[in-house]
């Protein structure tokens, strides 16, 4: 009997220990270890400011910093730092200084990240000034807690419980964002419900703003342009009518009374059926300026989305440029035009939107999609820093070379005082926040690039790996390389060489290049984009086609216009390419296409091998979770390869090259696959 009791105690102890070390991903990259009492007594952390944010910085360092003593200073003379900071080691003590209290908190998190990644702080002297003033997450969260294009469960915001019940995840969310310098959040979907502006919901938003405030995060709201009419029964929502203008001014006044540091509004207008000023014969400038005037006395900002297109014979890729260029210089100075990175819609690869740099008198911000709407949802590993960098580092050749999108949007090129960058969040209620453990890296990467857009994809990946898993090089190096290859792998097995928007209708998961939905708009159909026929494949945007190339500056205009000089990773974006066109490799276009799809499958399978070899370095729970996701990704890669090659083969009338892995599906069987993923939750 004694033996059984002892045995049970041992089992309970082992089980309890395993629970202590169970890893569910909820800690993200903030895997700090609490300092011992002995360490805490050996050093001091002093804050010379009693501001809440500075005291929070002191608390974080008190709890987790194991190095020498630290002094935190807020010095108004350091105005050039804005909300940045300096960290300097002198005579065995660390000094963190900022112009703003929040900068001291950012400095504390930076110091802890140096500790996490085992970097030396001896003689350290660094200065960090953020690239953008506003570093904002856009949550596409609905008031019923579903999330449009969300793949990590329901929304974090429990609207039905607010303001009386406060989830502990609200503060965890704010802390995670502050640790990477994100300082703003849009709480609700750009397809906004007018109800978010009701008194009931403003009270709920106020409760969230109070939690986020001490972490330096301002709250913004997406607004429905028809709110005056819908909420309070105005005849219409015409932005030039005094009654409508008065309604917005009064609404803004009430919001700022409850939330004095409210950030402003994000607006999706006259796009995909959303209401807007054009409903009343007014312009985007009329609508944006009306809201800007209402919010300006409080220091608020209007972020007006340039994602607009209508059913028309005009190439969809050209429409935002054509619609916004006439209004350059006509927007108020507290309006920022929010522009998606590509001219279509967050595709795995797009050229940059030509609007960047073309509006020289208007503040512009780039909008990235962190959530993987077109990149396998939360099932596929796709590290997005290379995609973000590809856009930010692109030269628009506005007034000569060196006019990168980074310089245009951070304000340095045109001297704009307000600069911003946005990312559509991939965060949900799942315990690991993002549905896929590696999805956390994209949240992290967006924050790091919003803070410093000169960082490399490689550097960010290494930081995240070391902070999230281990700093052992045997793990870090192969996993880093896997991450760096992953976005290109997805492009290869989904839409290589500039193919785009050939996903399944509506939910965008899986291939459906044959889709032709009865009654559907042509610019929502894959055939509109791939144009496969007996002659070739791709969308002709050359001067002989839609002439979308004319929206780019030279030398890009000529480079994109000529099939011989067009980058081959975009050749099917800008040209309808003959099946037998000779590529730089010597292959025909058809053979090259086949090889890209085959390579993507091989890369996905290699990721499985790399991850399986990493098992000794990873806790069993996260190892199994990622392993399971990689199995799905490999199966999906084959699905994509077979569907696209078998379908396009019906036009090329050529055999799939015999060195390419044979299809394992029948085309007719693939066409029968219908997934019910409409709500994405």
Integer Cα distance of 58 and 97 in angstroms: 13
Helix (H) or strand (E) holding 421: strand 420-424
Taking alpha carbons only, the member of 619, 625, 628, 617 closest to residue 476 is 617
Which helix H or strand E contains 38, and what residues bound it? helix 37-42
Instruction: Look up tokens 């917005």; give the residue.
Output: 248
Beta-carbon contacts of residue 394 (< 8 Å; ≥ 6 apart): 352, 356, 404, 405
CB 302 within 8 A of CB 295: yes
Q: Helix or strand or coil: residue 528?
A: helix
List phi, psi (to 5°) of 113. Answer: -70, -35
List of E strands, 45-139: 45-47, 70-74, 85-90, 93-98, 125-128, 134-138
Q: Tell me whether strands 420-424 and 134-138 are parallel, antiparallel or unpaired.
A: parallel
Residues near 122 by Cβ (< 8 Å), separated by ≥ 6? Answer: 89
**Residue 233: which residues within 8 A CB-CB, separation 6 or more?**
none
Q: What is the 3-state secondary structure (H, E, C) of 167-215?
A: CHHHHHHHHHHHHCCCCEEECCCCCCCHHHHCHHHHHHHHHHHHHHHCC
Question: End-to-end alpha-carbon separation of the chain, Å?
Answer: 51
DSSP designation for 288: H
- 331 — alpha (psi -120 to 50), left (phi > 0) or beta? beta
What are the φ and ψ backbone dihedral angles of 111, each rounded to 5 degrees?
-65, -40
d(CA 440, CA 372): 12
> For residues 599 and 186, what is the distance between their CA atoms, to the nearest angstrom?
39
Q: How far apart are CA 242 and CA 298, in angstroms?
A: 20
In degrees rounded to 5, what are phi and psi of residue 338? Answer: -95, 115
In angstroms, the Cα distances linking 548 to 153, 450, 502 are 39, 29, 20
Active-site annotation, residues: 272, 345, 373
Q: For residues 442 and 425, give the distance between their C-alpha atoms in angstroms, rounded to a whole number.
A: 9
Which residues are CB-contacts of 343 (< 8 A; sequence separation ≥ 6)?
316, 317, 318, 320, 321, 350, 351, 353, 354, 548
């Amino acid at each position: 009997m004694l033996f059984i009791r002892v045995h049970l105690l041992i089992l309970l102890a082992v089980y309890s220990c395993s629970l202590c070390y169970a890893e569910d991903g909820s800690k993200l990259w903030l895997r700090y270890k609490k300092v011992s009492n002995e360490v805490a007594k050996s050093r001091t952390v002093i804050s010379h400011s009693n501001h809440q944010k500075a005291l929070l910085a002191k608390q974080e360092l008190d709890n987790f910093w194991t190095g020498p003593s630290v002094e935190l200073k807020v010095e108004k003379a350091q105005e050039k730092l804005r909300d940045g900071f300096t960290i300097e080691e002198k005579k065995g003590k660390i000094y963190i200084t900022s112009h703003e209290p929040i900068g001291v908190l950012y400095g504390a998190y930076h110091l802890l990240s140096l500790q996490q990644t085992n970097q030396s702080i001896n003689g350290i002297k660094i200065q960090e000034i953020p690239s953008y003033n506003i570093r904002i997450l856009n949550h596409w969260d609905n008031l019923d807690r579903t999330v449009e294009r969300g793949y990590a469960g329901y929304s974090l915001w429990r609207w039905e419980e607010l303001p009386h019940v406060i989830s502990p995840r609200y503060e965890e969310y704010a802390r995670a964002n502050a640790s990477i310098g994100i300082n703003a959040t849009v709480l609700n979907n750009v397809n906004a419900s007018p109800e978010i502006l009701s008194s009931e919901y403003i009270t709920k938003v106020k409760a969230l703003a109070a939690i986020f405030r001490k972490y330096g995060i301002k709250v913004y709201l997406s607004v429905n342009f028809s709110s005056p009419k819908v909420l309070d029964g105005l005849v219409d929502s015409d932005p030039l009518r005094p009654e409508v203008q008065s309604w917005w001014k009064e609404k803004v006044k009430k919001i700022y009374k409850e939330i004095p540091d409210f950030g402003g509004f994000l607006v999706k207008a006259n796009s995909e059926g959303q209401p807007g000023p054009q409903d009343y014969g007014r312009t985007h400038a009329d609508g944006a300026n009306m809201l800007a005037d209402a919010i300006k006395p409080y220091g608020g900002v209007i972020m007006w989305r340039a994602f607009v297109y209508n059913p028309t014979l005009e190439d969809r890729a050209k429409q935002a440029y054509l619609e916004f260029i006439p209004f350059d210089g006509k927007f108020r100075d507290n309006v920022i035009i929010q522009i998606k990175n590509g001219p279509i819609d967050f595709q795995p690869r797009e050229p940059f939107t030509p609007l960047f740099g073309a509006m020289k008198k208007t503040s512009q911000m780039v909008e990235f999609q962190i959530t993987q709407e077109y990149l396998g949802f939360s099932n596929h590993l796709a590290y997005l820093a290379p995609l973000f960098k590809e856009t930010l580092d692109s030269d628009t050749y506005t007034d000569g070379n060196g006019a990168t999108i980074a310089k245009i949007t951070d304000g340095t090129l045109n001297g704009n005082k307000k600069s911003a960058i946005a990312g559509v969040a991939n965060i949900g209620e799942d315990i690991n926040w993002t549905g896929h453990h590696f999805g956390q890296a994209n949240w992290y990467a967006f924050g790091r690039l919003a803070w410093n857009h000169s960082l490399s994809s490689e550097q960010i990946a290494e930081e995240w790996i070391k902070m999230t898993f281990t700093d052992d090089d045997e793990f870090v190096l192969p996993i880093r390389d896997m991450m760096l290859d992953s976005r290109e792998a997805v492009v290869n097995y989904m839409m290589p060489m500039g193919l785009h928007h050939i996903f399944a209708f509506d939910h965008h998961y899986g291939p459906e290049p044959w889709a032709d939905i009865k009654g559907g708009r042509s610019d929502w159909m894959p055939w509109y984009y791939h144009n496969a026929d007996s002659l070739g494949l791709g969308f002709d945007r050359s001067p002989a086609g839609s002439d979308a190339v004319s929206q780019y500056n030279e030398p890009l205009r000529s480079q994109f216009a000529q099939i011989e000089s067009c980058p081959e990773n975009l050749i099917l974006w800008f040209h309808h390419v003959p099946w037998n066109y000779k590529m730089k490799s010597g292959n025909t276009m058809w053979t090259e296409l086949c090889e890209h799809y085959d390579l993507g499958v091989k890369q996905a399978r290699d990721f499985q091998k790399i991850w399986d070899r990493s098992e000794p370095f990873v806790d069993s729970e996260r190892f199994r979770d990622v392993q399971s996701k990689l199995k799905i990704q490999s199966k999906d890669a084959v699905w994509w390869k077979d569907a696209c090659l078998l379908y396009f083969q019906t036009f090329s009338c050529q055999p799939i090259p015999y060195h390419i892995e044979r299809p394992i599906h029948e085309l007719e069987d693939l066409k029968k696959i219908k997934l019910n993923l409409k709500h994405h939750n």
